[in-house]
Structure 1
Amino acid sequence: MARLVIVSNRVAIPEEGGKAVAAGGLAVAVKEAFTAYEGLWFGWSGTISEEPSEEPTLIDRGRVQYAVVDLSPQDHLEYYAGFANRALWPIMHYRLGLGAFSRSDYAGYSRVNRTFARALAKLVEPDDIIWVHDYHLLPLAAELRGLGLDNPIGYFHHIPWPAADVFNSLPASGELLRAIVDYDLIGLQTEADVQNLQRNLVDTQRAIPLGGGSLMVDGRRTRIRAFPIGIDVAGFKEAAEKANANKVVRETIAGLRTRKLLIGVDRLDYSKGVPERMEAVESFFASNPDQRGNVTYIQITPKSRSEVPEYEQLSRDVNEKVGEINGSLGDPAWTPIQYITKAYPRPVLAGLYRAARVGLVTPMRDGMNLVAKEYVVAQSEDDPGVLVLSKFAGAARQLPEALLINPYDRFEVAEAIRAALYMPKAERVARWKPMVERMTREDVDWWARNFLAELENFRTMEREAPTAAAAAE
C-alpha cells in the first residue's frame, strides 16, 4: 500500500498514547487522511534555534511517523513572519494596502522551501504520495522536482486565491505561478478560486486548457479543482450534545439568564472582520434599544502572529473598540460585549455554539471558514440558531440558507442580527436542516478521500497522456 506524506508549515505531534498537541485547524483536517494510509508528516517543529540541524528529527507514533525541522531566527523572520504573513497573506485576502514585500523576505521564503525539500527528499520513497498544504509552501513541488522526485505531489490551498490583478501586484507572482504548476493536482476551496488561478496561468504563463480542470504549462500537466474542506461532523456534534457537562459552558449559560446570545469565534486577524462586526453590533443596539440588556455578544478571539506589527495594531484597535461600545451602551447590570482572548478547547466551543441564538461569521474574506460549519453542526435540531455569514467566505457557497451579508455594510449586518433574533422557529429549522445534511455528506473525511483519489487518478492519467506537442495540436 502506498504511503502518504503530508507536508505543512506546522506539525501536530501526538503525545505518547495518542493525545494530539494542537497546532491549528489543519491538524484536525489532515489527520483523517492518515486513516487509510501509513504515513509521514513533515514540517516545521515550531522551534527557533540558533543553529538548526540539517537533518529532521524523527518521531515514531505507530502508523504515522513525524519529521520536523527547526528554523533559525533569520528563517523565521523572513520566511514566516515576513513573506508568508506580511506579503502572501494580505495579498491572498485582497488587502493590498497591508502587503509588505521585500526581496530579502522572499529570498528567505525561497531558501526555507529549498531547505525543506532537501530534508524531505531524503525521507521520500518511490511509491509515496505527497500532499502539501498551504501558502507557506507554494514552491515546494518545484524544489522537489529539481531534486529528481517524480512522485505524485498534490497541493491544497486553504485560503482564498485572488483575482489575477490582485495576485500579480506581488513582485514575485510570476515565479510563484511558474512554480505551482509542478504540482500534479492543486486543490482550492471554491470554484471562484479555481477560475482565478486558471485564468492567471492562461494569461501570464501561456497555459493550455485541456478540459476537466487540466492545464498544460511548458509541457507539464496539472489539474486545478475545488475541494471544499469539511469538519469532523460526528465528533463535533457529539461534543455539542455533551457540552452541558463542562463547567465553563454551564456557568456561561447560567450567567446569561434569559438573555439571548450572539457569538463570534475568530483568530485575531484583519481578514476576520472583528472590529467591523463590533461596529455592526453597536449599530444593532443603537437601532434596537429594546434589546439592550436582553442580548449579549461574546467574541472569542485568541491572539496570533503577535510578532507581525499589523497584528499588534489590530489587537489595540479591537480593545479600544470594545471599551468604547461597552462604555457608551453598557450599564452596571449588563455588558454588551464580552471580549475573550484565550483559546478554548473544542467541547467548550461546541457548547457555546449550541447555546447561541445567532452565530456571527463575518470575515472580510475567507477561504472557507470552518467556524460557520461548526456552528451549524452544533445546533439542536429541535431549536436551532441562525447563522449570519459573510458572502465573502468560501462557506457561503455551501451554506446558502444562512443569512448572507456584506461585512463592509454594518447596517446590513445589524439588520441580519435583528432578523435572526426574531426569526420564527419553523424558519430556523427549515434553514438549518439542509445545511447540516450537506455538512454531514461533505465532511472532512469526504474532503480527504476525494482529494487523494483525484491525485492518484490524475497521476495515472498523466503518465498515459499525449505529449505536449500532440496536446497543443
Structure 2
Amino acid sequence: MSRLVVVSNRIADPRKTAAGGLAVALGEALKTTGGMWFGWSGTVVEAGTPGEGEMHTQQAGNVTLATVDLCKEDHDSFYLGYSNGVLWPVFHYRLDLADFDAGYIAGYRRVNQMFAKKLMPLLKPDDIIWVHDYHLIPLAAELRAMGCTNRIGFFLHIPLPPPLILAAIPQHEWLIRSLFAYDLVGFQAEADVQHFARYVGEEAGAEALDPHHFRAFNRTVRAQAFPIGIDVNEFQALTRARESMDMFERMREEYARRRLLVGIDRLDYSKGLPHRIKAFRHLLTNYPENRNSATLIQIASPSRESVDAYADIRQQLEGLCGAVNGDFGELDWMPVRYIHRTVARKRIPGLCRAARVGLVTPLRDGMNLVAKEFVVAQDAADPGVLVLSRFAGAAEQLKEALLVNPYDTHGTAEVIQQALQMPLEERQRRHQKLLERIREFDVHWWRKAFLQALSETEPGG
C-alpha cells in the first residue's frame, strides 16, 4: 500500500487531535498506511534568512511529522501577506479588501519553493501526496520542476470565485496554471468546479475532455467536488459528554422563558455577522412578539486581530449589538449576548442542542461545518431549525435547511420568524433528512472518496 504524504500550512499530531475536523480524518488515513504530515512548524524566526527554514521531524506512532520554520519576512509575505491579504479576500469575493500592491507574491512563491525543496528528499517513489488549501497552490508545480512524478492531489477548502473575480489577481494566470501540475483538484461544491471549468476554458484555452477532465499546458487535470463532512459519531459522543450536557442544562435553566438563537463563527468579514445582527433587529421590529422572548447568543471567536479589516468588523459588530440591546433590552432581558472569545469545543454541542434556531449565514463560505454540527447536536424528538446562507458550500447538500440570502436582512428576518414558528412535525422531518445526508457524506467518506479518485486518476503529464 502506498504511503500517504499530507502537506498543509499547519499540521497536528494525530494522537492529540480533539474530536472533529480535518485533522481527525487525515490522521486516521495517515495512521492506516503509515505516512508523513508536512507543513509549517508554527514558529517564526525573527532573524532568519528568507527562503531558508530549519527542518524538524518527529514520530507520532507510525506517522512522521515534518515541519519547517519560517523567518519573519517569509511569514509576513507568504502567510499574512499573499495567502491572507490577497487570496483569502479575493476567493471570498472581497476585492475591496485585497492588498494587490504590496508585492507579497514573491514571498508566496519563495516559501512554496522552500517547502518543495525540503519535502522532495523525504519522498518515496510510490508516495501519494495530498496538498491542502490556498497557501500551497503552486507546491505541485515546484515539485514537478524538481522531477517529482508522484501522484499529487490538491483540495481547496475555501470557495473558488468566478473567472472575472479571479482575473483581478495580478499573475492569476500563473496561479491557476499551477493547478495543472496536480493530477486531481478537489473543491467543496459543484459551483466551485463550474467556476474552475469556466476560468480554464476562457482564460487558459483548456480543452474540456469531459465535465471533470481538462487539458492545458500539456497536462490533464481532473477537477471534482468532494464536500467535506464532520465525524458524526465523534460529535454525537461529544454531545452526550458531561461538559456538553452541563452546558445544555445551564442554558435550558437560564433561558427557560426564552427561545434561543445561536450563531457560532470566527470573527471574519466573510461570515456576514453585521448582516445577521441587522436581520435580528428587523425580527424584533417587525415581529414584536419576539421581544422579551427571543435571545440571540452570538459567539465571534477572535481571528487575525492585527489586520485592520478585522478590527473594523469587530467595532461594527459591537456597535450593532449594543444598539439592539439599548433599543430593545429590558431589565431582565438582553436581546443579544455577544461573546468575543473562543468557547471550548466540548461545550458547543450543548449550546447548539439548547437552541431553537441555528444561524449560519456567511456571505461566502467554502463549506461551513458549524451548520452540520448544529444538526447533529439536536434532539431528534424536538430539533431546532437550521437557517443557512445559500452562499455557504453546505447549502448544496443541506436542502432541508431554511436557505436565505444574507444580504437581504429583511428577508432573513422573515425566515427566522418562520423557523421560530415551525411546527414540531416539520422540524422533525427536516432534521431527519439533514442528519441522514450528513451521516452519509461524513468526513470519512470525504477522505476515502478523494483518495480513491486520486488513486484512479491517470498521472496527467
Instruction: Give TM-score, length-normalised by structure 1.
Output: 0.93
Give the Cα–Cα distance (whole angstroms) in 1 for the partners of residues 73 and 366 of structure 2: 29
Partner of 1:116: 115
Partner of 1:326: 325
Instruction: Give TM-score, length-normalised by structure 2.
Output: 0.96
Alignment of 1:278-427 (within 5 A): 278-427=277-426
Give the Cα–Cα distance (whole angstroms) in 2 for the partners of residues 207 and 293 of structure 1: 59
Q: Classify 1:21/1:400 alpha carbon distance in 2 versus 1 (closer, same or farther; 3 Å).
A: closer
Give the Cα–Cα distance (whole angstroms) in 2 for the partners of residues 147 and 55 of structure 1: 20
Superposed CA offset, 1:289-319 (max 9, x none): 2211211111111111122221121111111
Partner of 2:38: 42
Partner of 1:185: 184
Q: Classify 1:302/1:29 alpha carbon distance in 2 versus 1 (closer, same or farther; 3 Å).
A: farther
Give the Cα–Cα distance (whole angstroms) in 2 for the partners of residues 277 and 245 of structure 1: 26
Give the Cα–Cα distance (whole angstroms) in 1 for the partners of residues 253 and 346 of structure 2: 17
**Equivalent position amino acid for 2:372 in 1:** K
Superposed CA offset, 1:240-289 (max 9, x none): 23356654443233211221110000111100001110110111111122
Partner of 1:429: 428
Partner of 2:69: 70
Find the residue that maps to 2:104 and give its secondary structure: helix
CA shift, 1:183, in A, is 0.6
Q: Classify 1:230/1:32 alpha carbon distance in 2 versus 1 (closer, same or farther; 3 Å).
A: farther
Find the residue that maps to 2:380 and give its secondary structure: coil
State whether structure 2 residue 12 is matched by structure 1 residue 12: yes
CA shift, 1:378, in A, is 1.1
What runs of 5+ residues in structure 2 fail to find an aligned partner?
A: none
CA shift, 1:41, in A, is 0.8
CA shift, 1:13, in A, is 2.6
State whether structure 2 residue 169 is matched by structure 1 residue 173: no
Superposed CA offset, 1:100-157 (max 9, x none): 1135211111111111111111211111110000011111100111111111100000
**Equivalent position amino acid for 2:154 in 1:** Y
Give the Cα–Cα distance (whole angstroms) in 1 for the partners of residues 111 and 370 of structure 2: 31
**Equivalent position amino acid for 1:5 in 2:** V
- Residues 244 and 250, structure 1, Cα contact 8 Å, conserved in 2: no
Give the Cα–Cα distance (whole angstroms) in 2 for the partners of residues 32 and 259 of structure 1: 42
Superposed CA offset, 1:402-446 (max 9, x none): 100100011111111111111000000111111100111100000
Give the Cα–Cα distance (whole angstroms) in 2 for the partners of residues 50 and 118 of structure 1: 22
Aligned length: 458
**Equivalent position amino acid for 2:36 in 1:** L
Superposed CA offset, 1:329-375 (max 9, x none): 11220111111122223321111111111000000011111111111
Find the residue that maps to 1:261 and give its secondary structure: strand
Give the Cα–Cα distance (whole angstroms) in 2 for the partners of residues 94 and 73 of structure 1: 28
Superposed CA offset, 1:149-200 (max 9, x none): 1111000001111110011011121110111110110000111110111111
- Residues 81 and 307, structure 1, Cα contact 8 Å, conserved in 2: no
Find the residue that maps to 1:228 and give its secondary structure: coil
CA shift, 1:226, in A, is 0.5
Quote the RMSD (CA, aligned, Å).
1.7
CA shift, 1:54, in A, is 3.3
- Residues 243 and 346, structure 2, Cα contact 8 Å, conserved in 1: no
Give the Cα–Cα distance (whole angstroms) in 1 for the partners of residues 395 and 197 of structure 2: 22
Give the Cα–Cα distance (whole angstroms) in 2 for the partners of residues 451 and 219 of structure 1: 24
Find the residue that maps to 1:13 and give its secondary structure: coil
Superposed CA offset, 1:24-68 (max 9, x none): 943245334325321111111111112456342111111211111
Find the residue that maps to 2:66 and give its secondary structure: strand
**Equivalent position amino acid for 2:22 in 1:** L
Q: What percentage of residue pairs aligned between the two structures are identical?
A: 47
- Residues 361 and 390, structure 1, Cα contact 8 Å, conserved in 2: yes
**Equivalent position amino acid for 2:153 in 1:** G
- Residues 33 and 445, structure 1, Cα contact 8 Å, conserved in 2: no
Give the Cα–Cα distance (whole angstroms) in 1 for the partners of residues 24 and 274 of structure 2: 28
**Equivalent position amino acid for 1:274 in 2:** L
